[in-house]
Amino acid sequence: MTHYTTMSSNLKRGILRFTEAISAGLSRPEFKFVSQMVYGLLCSQSCHISKIARALDEDILLKKTIERLCRNLATFTGGARVLKNYIKRIKHSLNDKALLIIDDGDISKPCSKKMEGLRIVHDGSTGTNRPGYHMLDITALTSEHKAPIGVYSRVYSAGEETFVSATDETLKALGFLRKHFKRGNVRVFDRGFDANMFFEDLIDHNEKFVIRVNLNRNVIYKGETVKITELAERYKGKYSLRFKRKNRKPADCKISIVPIRMCFRPGVDLNLVICRGIGQEPMLLVTNLKSEDERIAVIVTKVYLLRWRIEEFHGFKKQQFGFEDFRVRSLAAIRNLDLLLTIAIGYIGMMSERAEDKRIVMELIEISKRIYGVPRFRFYAVADGMFSVFARSKQGISHMMAKKRRSGQMSLFPEQFLSTA
């Protein structure tokens, strides 16, 4: 038998402890705003401010709650401090070798006309160009289940006055990682980040990386400049790796590793990992990871294949919470909403990582009533369980944040005597 009232209270207290930790250094009103938004997102499973306001269930007009949340979203300036505290909090679920996966994306708003900074972007889901925004996300994989937890997210527009380029936005994100994570945390990139500027930035700061490169590159091999495709044809695979694809079908790939140098940095030794069997063309990975064990090629391939976890993160963000369907207009409000949603999903990620050790998490998964058992990616199950529990709750979270008022009734035992007793 599930006691929904007790479970709801425990979940609310856990959310409040979490938001209190990430709101350190903020004013009391800012803390209440962050707490209400994180709870409202988890309770409503929506980015609509009206649904978040209904989830708060305050004893005032719904319109006033919506106006307050919209106003605070547009004017909130404590995002940098909240993100810093949040990263400190989630590091308990990470280790010193946690993978950092960098990926870009888009937010499509085909029916919007009045939103600030709207520009034409390429919609990856439909393959068409639509009005919208660019997005850059970075996730860290947890130590045990390799669950993606967001550590950086930025929505930007080419229509901003301060916009320089997408490359500049990526370099800013790499600088952010440099402040909060160690050099040993491997940065993993897809082909869209195959640019000399990114290689130079990572090499100059002695940071570990794995980048999938395009097939039109030239590299230096044994002192000669050769096409990377011609070099790849010379190696048919010394090592073997078996794994399951995204569609759960088995795959068997052959892997080779070759020492190379890049033409723009001929003095830096790198490795080219050639992987055959994943697609029609060989997958080419350039990395500065080195080891005396030649099986490092297999490790590099596994590291890159884990990059798919950020696609699961993107899918969860857009499908479960409907992030592309937000209804705020200003870029400041969009960015604050994106930050708070990333934090809310991070809370789900931390709970999912400790599923075996936390009874409440297993109960949430059971309440979600999965058809085909507990999946490997547990975010949907935990979120659905939260939604079912909070739906039975008769109160929001505001009453748990209210300070207790001191009674005007005189006491026979003043507090100073009780404290010294």
Instruction: Please state, for a pLDDT cut of 70, what percent of the chain lies above it.
Output: 94
pLDDT per residue over 16-36, tens digit each? 999 999 999 999 999 999 999
Res 411: pLDDT: 62
pLDDT at 44 over 90: yes
pLDDT at 417 over 70: no
∠ CA(131), CA(80), CA(194), 5° rounding?
55
Helix (H, G, I), strand (E, B), or coil: what is residue 79? helix
Name the pLDDT band for 62 (thresholds 50, 70, 90).
very high
Res 407: pLDDT: 60
Residue that wins the pLDDT comparison between 352 and 284: 284
- Domain residue spans of the chain: 4-76+333-401, 209-288
pLDDT at 353 over 90: no
CA atoms of 234 and 223, how far apart (whole Å): 16
Side chain identity at 94, as an amino acid letter? L
**What are the b/e assignments for 324-346, b being 16+ CB within 10 Å?**
bebebbebbbbbbbbbbbbbbbb
pLDDT at 1 over 50: no
Farthest CA pair distance, the chain: 92
pLDDT at 325 over 70: yes
Res 370: pLDDT: 86
Res 292: pLDDT: 77
Which CA distances in Å does 296 have to 83, 209, 225, 342? 34, 13, 25, 33
Name the pLDDT band for 412 (thresholds 50, 70, 90).
low
Q: How large is the average pLDDT for residues 323-328?
A: 94
CB atoms closer than 10 angstroms to residue 263: 12
CA atoms of 364 and 377, how far apart (whole Å): 14
